[in-house]
Structure formats: structure tokens, C-alpha cells
Structure 1
Amino acid sequence: MKLAADRWLGVFLIGLAAFVAVQALRLEVPFSYDPVGPKAFPLGLAILLAALSLVLVFKPGANGHWPDRALAVKLLAVLGVLLVYALLFTRLGFVATSLLAIVALARIFAASWGKALLTGVLMAMGSYFLFTHGLGISLPNGYWLEGLI
């Protein structure tokens, strides 16, 4: 029996959920002012991921075929952009890295350069101010800005 693409993805995601759950259970913080602790959020996400992955395994979609070559290349390009984003996040800072990632993602999905740049600037700056001023979360400015600030 040939497994559908959805089922393979479901099995892979269950493995990922198990990995995340094990890593969450290993988190130890010497002190915490939060009664729930740092384990709750990743453990909850792992449980949700496993539950939704089971749906893919036991009830895959009607189309069990792998994506065609063009879509597979786009998906791999998105994965590449996200990996580069993770690697450059602290070096370049949130705004610059987010701007580059959003523009690259928009271009992958055929947005014009003007729309991609406008979307990148608005989303990078808007999310920066939302995180820093609205939620009070500190984001990296990047090593390249240390000499300028």
C-alpha cells in the first residue's frame, strides 16, 4: 500500500511533536514567578501538533499526490528563506531580517517588486512596533547597528 503524501507528512509531524515535547519537558528554570512555568506553552503546542497530525494520518485529503515540481521548488525556497531568517535574526536584527524575508517570500509567490517592498517595510516596521511597544518584547537590533547607536 502506497501512503499518501498527507500521511507521510502526518507521521513526520508526530515525530516533530514528540521531539518538541521531550525538549519542553527538559526545560529547567532555577526560579520562576509564573505559576505555569516555561514548559506549558511548548508542551501545549506539541500536543496540538500531534492531535492535528493524527487527522492527517487517519483521514488524509482526497488528493494524495505530491506537489508538482514548480510548487515543490517554491516550498523549498520558502524553507530556505526561513532558515536564512533564523540564522541572520540576531546578526542583522529583527527589522532588517524581517524586511528581507518578507520581500523574498512575496517575490517567491509572484508579487511585483514594488508590492513586495511596500509589504516588507509595512510588516517589518509594524510588527516591530507591535512587539516592542504594544507587547513590551525586546527584539534584537543587530550587530551592524551597534556602531550607529
Structure 2
Amino acid sequence: MHRIFDRTASLLFIAVGAAFILGARNLSSTAYGSRVGPDLFPMGLGALLILLSLRLFFETFRHPGKEESGDKGSLDWRRFGGMLAAALLYALLLETLGYVLSTFLFLFAGFQLIERGKWVRSAMVAAVFSGGVYFLYAGVMKGTLPGWPVWFAG
């Protein structure tokens, strides 16, 4: 049951990744005041999504008779719904809360959905990732991302 779902999902995500790449080609190559164009992230994300989806697709053939332990043939809809809700909130709040804060909250919520507890570790990883990506993209590569919210920056 899970193998069929994984294969179908991987093919769907390959198509989404290809759409990201094709859509990114229609964006301008550079933005005013930025060395990094708006096409870089969608194109990179599309390529990464295709590569990860291909890996998932071929992994389903690797162990054809082996099922997960404790598998009852059903998907974990609560976690899926939680991650979907977190992703939608992330997209809606990105401009309002800024990149660093909204990404931190999204990652923290995702880590807690995957594995409850370990709050400190989840917070540390989420903080290092969101701050690190912001520093690399905005500081080193001179790209632009939504900054801190007005009420937070002071």
C-alpha cells in the first residue's frame, strides 16, 4: 500500500519540480539591488524536488517484499494534516513575520509533529537553519528575503 502511494507521490512531485523549473525560466534573471535573481530558488528547489522524488521512486523498488514494522496499511493523516496546515501558515505568514521567524516556527512545528518532545534540540536546529540560510542568502550572496517584522525589529 505504501509503495504504491510513494510511487504515485514521487511521480507527482517530479511533475511539480518540472513546473517549478519551467516557471522559474519565465522570471527575470536578476532583481534590482540583488546579485541573486528571483529565478535561483525556484529553479534550485525544482531540481532538488526532482532528485529527491527520483530517489523515492527507485527506493520503492529496492525492498519490494519488505513492509514497515507495525504497518497497518493506513497513512498517518494527523501528521500529514498538521504538516499541510503548517506549510499553509508558513506561506501566509512569510511576508508578515519575515523569513527568519516564519521559517523557525515552521521548522519547529514540523520537528514536533515528526517527533514530540526534544524541544531544545528542535529549537536549536530550527534557529541555526533559518538564521544560517538567511545569513548565506541575504548576507553573503546579497539576495533579498523578507526581513524581520516591524514590531519585532523595533
User: TM-score surpassing 0.5?
Assistant: yes
Matched, 1:74 2:79: yes
5 Å-filtered alignment, 1:1-149, equals: 4-22=1-19, 24-25=21-22, 28-29=25-26, 41=44, 44-45=47-48, 48-49=51-52, 51-56=54-59, 58-59=61-62, 60=64, 62-63=66-67, 65=71, 72-108=77-113, 109-141=115-147, 144-145=149-150
Could you tell me which runs of 5 or more consecutive residues in structure 1 were left unpaired when the two chains were aligned. Answer: none
For the 8 Å contact 1:5–1:66, the answer to whether it is kept is no
How far apart are the structure 2 equivalents of 1:40 and 1:10? 23
For the 8 Å contact 1:20–1:43, the answer to whether it is kept is yes
State the aligned residue count.
141
Of the two, which has the highest radius of gyration?
Answer: 1
Could you tell me which runs of 5 or more consecutive residues in structure 2 were left unpaired when the two chains were aligned. Answer: 31-38
Q: CA RMSD in A?
A: 3.8
How far apart are the structure 1 equivalents of 2:116 and 2:15? 36
Tell me, what secondary structure is at the counterpart of 2:12?
helix
1:21: how far off?
Answer: 2.1
The 1:44–1:141 alpha-carbon spacing in structure 2 relative to 1, beyond 3 Å, is closer
Tell me, what secondary structure is at the counterpart of 2:116?
coil
TM-score (norm 2): 0.61
